[in-house]
Amino acid sequence: MKLMTLSEISQRLESYEETIVFKLIDRAQFAANGIIYERGKSGFKGAGNLSLLELRLQFQEQMDTQFGKYCVPDERPFIKSSSAPRRKAMVDDRGILIEDCNVINLTEDIMRGYRAIIPLICEAVDDGHYGSAVEHDVYALQAISRRIHFGSLYAAEAKYTADPEGFRKLIDANDHEGLMKRLTRKTVEDNIISRVREKTIATQALVNREIRRAIKPEVVVQFYEECIIPLTKRGQVQYLLNRKEPESHAA
């Protein structure tokens, strides 16, 4: 059980930025296709009231579960699954001190935030490519969710370790606002924002815009500012409020 340093965690979060940018660009190659988000309009017989996206998530996550994806603390399904993994995944908790990682589950907020940027990155029409659109929705959602849940768990623990007394007081007082304030590192956030802006520009520098849709760097910036960063911090607060010292230490 080796605790990652805050710097190692930040580096991991930084390395997820390209992945998120790539997934958003890939999704933008298909139209918004609003119908794929409408409940009961999946076009699947017997699929009841699910939207096509929810159905795709269900299929994907059932598959991923079998491959051991949700055995890792920072992976979280969007739709509850009842099946058990068929292969043992490498579970590496690296010092997460919480009884049930699933207490921190931001998938609903992630879905809301993601749905909000679809009209900003995709063409506001229906191109009929519903299957491809939900496929790319799933990949984007998974990359975003992993970034947020990884940051929620590991960064919170590392921040706590750097100042146990300060955090203990806020946790004992159940002081959400105080915790949020203490977790915030404005310079780090500013760096993230300018990095994702520049990466979105660089990634699309040679795109032929007549044949491939580009996404606006400011949309990615806004998404980080209004969704990814605040949700990661909300997850950190949840982690800290549910954090439990191991018995041997507490004795």
| Site residues, a second copy (CB under 8 A) | 11-12, 14-15, 18-19, 22, 25-26, 29, 42-45, 52, 56, 59-60, 63-64, 66-69, 86-90, 128-131, 134-135, 139, 195, 198-199, 202-203, 205-208, 210-212
What minimum distance in Å lies between the beta carbon of 38 and a second copy? 14
Contacts of 106 (CB under 8 A, 6+ apart): 76, 145, 148, 149, 152, 231, 234, 235
Shorter beta-carbon distance to a second copy: residue 17 or 157: 17
Radius of gyration of the chain (CA): 19
What minimum distance in Å lies between the beta carbon of 21 and a second copy? 9
DSSP 132-143: HHHHHHHHHHHH
Shorter beta-carbon distance to a second copy: residue 1 or 205: 205
What minimum distance in Å lies between the beta carbon of 153 and a second copy? 18
Shorter beta-carbon distance to a second copy: residue 86 or 249: 86
Shorter beta-carbon distance to a second copy: residue 26 or 109: 26
What minimum distance in Å lies between the beta carbon of 160 and a second copy? 23
Shorter beta-carbon distance to a second copy: residue 185 or 197: 197
CA–CA separation, 137 and 115 (whole Å): 9
Question: Taking a C-beta distance cutoff of 8 angstroms, is the pair 38, 133 a contact?
Answer: no
What minimum distance in Å lies between the beta carbon of 155 and a second copy? 15
H-helix segments, 67-205 = 107-121, 130-150, 156-162, 164-172, 176-183, 186-203
Shorter beta-carbon distance to a second copy: residue 32 or 170: 32
CA–CA separation, 114 and 157 (whole Å): 26
What minimum distance in Å lies between the beta carbon of 15 and a second copy? 4
